[in-house]
């Protein structure tokens, strides 16, 4: 727990926050909200529910009467879980409602995917910087293609609350139910076999408790909006590292904590009705014949330990990677692996899961898989030169095992920096097949985005 001195210090800062203006799509009020209560010009603070007012573009339909309550402070978020019904009223929060029961169907069926306002803004700004009008308009169209929101730090969780509130409001106003796509990505000692995606928590410094608090905060947001469906990818690379990288000391040390944290995420997100896909690496990692059985054993064990919840739908593959779902011919770098693309990998892995009693289904990232045969080695993963946007998200996948083709990685956000002096430098990002100079992981990489647009396959 943080000291009371910390909270006291925070409270003294509050007037400074209140004085600022929230950005477009930012939160500008609500019970417990202590941030800015006015919006930048061109947007209007609009009450979406008692917990959220948001700066929406244009002028108001309803002007806000901002509800500010500083009383419960920072800890109010996690205190919603298991809260009594005393707060429910006709205008009260919906968080006390139980989530809908699990559906055996494809989670996307009957829902429209909510577009991340953050990514849409990144893309709109990027398109404005492109002088060629044809390329610029193609670039702008990417804002309409759904990606996932990466909750890669605790600081991003309020954005999730904002998106859920917007999605709920949109669902009510249009009559089309909304689905929000997120990535759970904040394990302590994250990215144990590489450096570019080091996280904010360390196992040595209270990492597991911090992670549980991170999940609790996400759960508290989601349970306020049972009308919005949430689909989550769980912890990219984590379990795959436990299959093949226990020779790396940091991964060996992390094993017990990773398993405990993933179990905490699965069991608690299931309670609020989140449909989940655990990350399963890709064909060039766990798809090697020697890795398939150990991978299947680990995934089914994790699923069993999490109570075999029907909300744990299956596995996500090729997240932020560049493999084809179905390659026209094997890329020469895949030589020796009969599972040379994602469909071969999935067709090999799914029956092993079924043998263990799990009818798992898959989602596959194709966001940057439009161009093939561009890597020097299969293990290269950083800002691959010449990559293009790939197959658009669709539930029309051609495979009984695949629920949806998705874009998990928001294309244009960097995989890792090529600056060798940066603390998060990974030498993979300076290989000859990596686009350079590249900024820090997660930040916008304009030149790379422009290549993704011009090389898109199918074309934009
Ligand atoms: C590279 O990283 C170092 C250390 O963070 C920084 O001082 C330097 O400005 C960076 N160089 C470039 C070109 O961004």
For the chain, the average pLDDT equals: 87
Lookup result for tokens 């989602």: 363
DSSP 332-352: GGGTT-S--SHHHHHHHHHHH
Q: Say if 370 falls within a structural domain.
A: yes
pLDDT tier at 219 (50, 70, 90 boundaries)? Answer: very high
pLDDT tier at 11 (50, 70, 90 boundaries)? Answer: very low
Instruction: Please report the pLDDT score of residue 312 as a whole number.
Output: 98
Instruction: Please report the pLDDT score of residue 46 as a whole number.
Output: 77
Question: Within a 10 A sphere around the Cβ of 296, how many other Cβ atoms?
Answer: 25
Instruction: Find the 433 Cα to ligand 1 centroid distance in Å.
Output: 21
List the catalytic residue out of 186, 189, 237, 380.
237
Instruction: Find the 266 Cα to ligand 1 centroid distance in Å.
Output: 38
Q: Name the residue with higher pLDDT: 111 or 87.
A: 111
Instruction: Please report the pLDDT score of residue 108 as a whole number.
Output: 98
409 is in an annotated binding site: yes
411 lies in which domain range? 112-455
Q: Are 25 and 118 in contact (CB under 8 A)?
A: yes
Instruction: Find the 195 Cα to ligand 1 centroid distance in Å.
Output: 16
Instruction: Please report the pLDDT score of residue 402 as a whole number.
Output: 98
Instruction: Please report the pLDDT score of residue 300 as a whole number.
Output: 98
150 is in an annotated binding site: yes
pLDDT of 62 above 50: no
Instruction: Please report the pLDDT score of residue 52 as a whole number.
Output: 58
pLDDT of 87 above 50: no
Rounded average pLDDT over 366-381: 98
Lookup result for tokens 């993933």: 262
Strand partners, 207: none
pLDDT of 75 above 70: no
Rounded average pLDDT over 382-391: 98
Query: E strand or H helix at 421, and its extent?
Result: none
Sheet holding 52-57, edge to edge: 27-29, 52-57, 43-49
Q: Say if 76 falls within a structural domain.
A: no
Strand partners, 278: 234, 315
403 is in an annotated binding site: no
Q: Say if 134 falls within a structural domain.
A: yes
159 is in an annotated binding site: no
Is the shortest distance between the CB of 436 and ligand 1 below 6 Å? no
pLDDT of 78 above 60: no
- Within 8 A by CB and 6+ apart from 118, the residues are 25, 149, 159
Q: Say if 227 falls within a structural domain.
A: yes
Q: Say if 96 falls within a structural domain.
A: no
Instruction: Please report the pLDDT score of residue 98 as a whole number.
Output: 76
Instruction: Please report the pLDDT score of residue 94 as a whole number.
Output: 45
Q: Say if 203 falls within a structural domain.
A: yes
Hey, which of 418, 420, 421 would you mutate to test ligand 1's pocket, going by the most ligand atoms within 8 Å of its Cβ?
Answer: 421
Out of 69-78, 204-213, 307-316, least confident range: 69-78
Instruction: Please report the pLDDT score of residue 194 as a whole number.
Output: 83
Out of 59-63, 168-172, 408-412, 447-451, least confident range: 59-63
237 among known catalytic residues? yes
Hey, which of 419, 440, 445 would you mutate to test ligand 1's pocket, going by the most ligand atoms within 8 Å of its Cβ?
Answer: 419
CB-based burial of residue 61 (10 Å sphere; 0-12 exposed, 13-18 middle, 19+ buried)? exposed
Q: Which residues of 227-257 are buried (b: 16+ CB within 10 A; e: fewer)?
A: ebbbbbbbbbbbbbbbbbbeeeeebeebeeb
186 among known catalytic residues? no
Rounded average pLDDT over 296-318: 98
Q: Say if 7 falls within a structural domain.
A: no
| Nearest atom, ligand 1, residue 437 CA | 13
Q: Whose CA is nearest to atom 11 of ligand 1?
A: 419
| Nearest atom, ligand 1, residue 425 CA | 2
Q: Are 368 and 452 in contact (CB under 8 A)?
A: yes
Q: Whose CA is nearest to atom 5 of ligand 1?
A: 422
List the catalytic residue out of 186, 380, 403, 415.
415
Tell which residue, 205, 190, 272, has the closest CA to residue 237.
190
CATH number for the domain that contains residue 405: 3.20.20.40
Question: Within a 10 A sphere around the Cβ of 310, how many other Cβ atoms?
Answer: 12
Rounded average pLDDT over 342-356: 98
pLDDT of 153 above 60: yes
191 among known catalytic residues? yes
Q: Which structure tokens are listed for 4?
A: 């009371």
pLDDT of 83 above 80: no
Rounded average pLDDT over 66-76: 29
Q: Are 260 and 199 in contact (CB under 8 A)?
A: no
d(CA 337, CA 285): 10
* Percent share of the chain, pLDDT over 70: 84
d(CA 412, CA 399): 28
pLDDT of 236 above 60: yes
- The C-alpha angle 165, 170, 174, rounded to 5 degrees, equals 155
pLDDT tier at 211 (50, 70, 90 boundaries)? Answer: very high
Q: What is the pLDDT of residues 288-304, one digit of tens each?
A: 999 999 999 999 999 99
pLDDT of 17 above 50: no
d(CA 450, CA 460): 12
Q: Are 374 and 322 in contact (CB under 8 A)?
A: yes
List the catalytic residue out of 159, 186, 189, 191.
191
pLDDT of 14 above 60: no
Is the shortest distance between the CB of 422 and ligand 1 below 6 Å? yes
Q: Say if 16 falls within a structural domain.
A: no
- Within 8 A by CB and 6+ apart from 332, the residues are 373
Q: Give the total number of structural domains in the chain.
A: 1
Instruction: Please report the pLDDT score of residue 33 as a whole number.
Output: 64
212 is in an annotated binding site: no
Tell which residue, 271, 262, 217, has the closest CA to residue 236.
262
Rounded average pLDDT over 259-275: 98
CB-based burial of residue 377 (10 Å sphere; 0-12 exposed, 13-18 middle, 19+ buried)? exposed
Torsion-angle region of 273 (φ positive above 0: left; ψ -120 to 50: alpha; else: beta): left
d(CA 68, CA 148): 31
381 is in an annotated binding site: yes
Residue 202 sits at φ, ψ, to 5 deg, of -125, 145
pLDDT tier at 32 (50, 70, 90 boundaries)? Answer: low
Out of 65-74, 227-236, 262-271, 439-448, least confident range: 65-74
């Amino acid at each position: 727990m943080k000291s009371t001195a910390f909270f006291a210090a925070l409270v003294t800062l509050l007037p400074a926050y209140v004085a600022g203006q929230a950005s477009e799509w930012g939160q500008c009020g609500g019970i417990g909200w202590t941030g800015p209560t006015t919006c930048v010009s061109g947007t209007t603070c609009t009450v979406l529910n008692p917990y959220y007012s948001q700066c929406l573009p244009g002028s108001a339909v309803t002007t806000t009467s901002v509800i500010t309550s500083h009383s419960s402070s920072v800890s109010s978020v996690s205190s919603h879980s298991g809260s009594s019904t005393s707060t429910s009223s006709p205008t009260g929060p919906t968080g006390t409602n139980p989530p809908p029961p699990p559906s055996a169907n494809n989670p996307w069926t009957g829902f429209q995917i909510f577009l991340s306002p953050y990514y849409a803004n990144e893309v709109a700004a990027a398109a404005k910087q492109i002088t060629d009008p044809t390329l610029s308009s193609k670039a702008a169209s990417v804002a309409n293609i759904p990606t996932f929101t990466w909750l890669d730090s605790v600081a991003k969780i309020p954005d999730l609350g904002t998106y859920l509130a917007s999605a709920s409001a949109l669902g009510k106003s249009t009559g089309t139910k909304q689905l929000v796509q997120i990535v759970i990505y904040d394990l302590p000692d994250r990215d144990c076999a590489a450096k570019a995606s080091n996280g904010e928590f360390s196992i040595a410094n209270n990492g597991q408790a911090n992670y549980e608090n991170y999940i609790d905060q996400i759960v508290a947001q989601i349970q306020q909006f049972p009308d919005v469906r949430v689909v989550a990818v769980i912890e990219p690379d984590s379990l795959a590292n436990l299959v093949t990288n226990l020779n790396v000391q940091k991964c060996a040390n992390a094993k017990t904590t990773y398993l405990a944290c993933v179990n905490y995420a699965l069991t608690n997100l299931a309670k609020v009705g989140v449909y989940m896909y655990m990350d399963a690496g890709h064909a060039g990692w766990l798809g090697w014949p020697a890795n398939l059985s150990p991978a299947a054993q680990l995934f089914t064990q994790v699923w069993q330990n999490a109570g075999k919840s029907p909300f744990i739908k299956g596995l996500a593959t090729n997240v932020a990677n560049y493999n084809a779902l179905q390659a026209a011919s094997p890329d020469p770098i895949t030589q020796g692996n009969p599972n040379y693309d994602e469909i071969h990998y999935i067709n090999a892995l799914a029956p092993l899961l079924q043998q263990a009693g799990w009818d798992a289904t898959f989602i596959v990232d194709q966001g940057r898989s439009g161009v093939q045969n561009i890597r020097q080695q299969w293990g290269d993963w950083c800002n691959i030169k010449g990559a293009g946007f790939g197959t658009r998200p669709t539930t029309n996948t051609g495979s009984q095992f695949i629920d949806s083709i998705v874009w998990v990685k928001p294309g244009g956000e960097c995989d890792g920096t090529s600056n060798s002096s940066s603390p998060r430098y990974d030498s993979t990002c300076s290989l000859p097949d990596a686009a350079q100079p590249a900024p820090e992981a997660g930040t916008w990489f304009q030149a790379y985005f422009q290549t993704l647009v011009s090389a898109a396959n199918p074309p934009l």
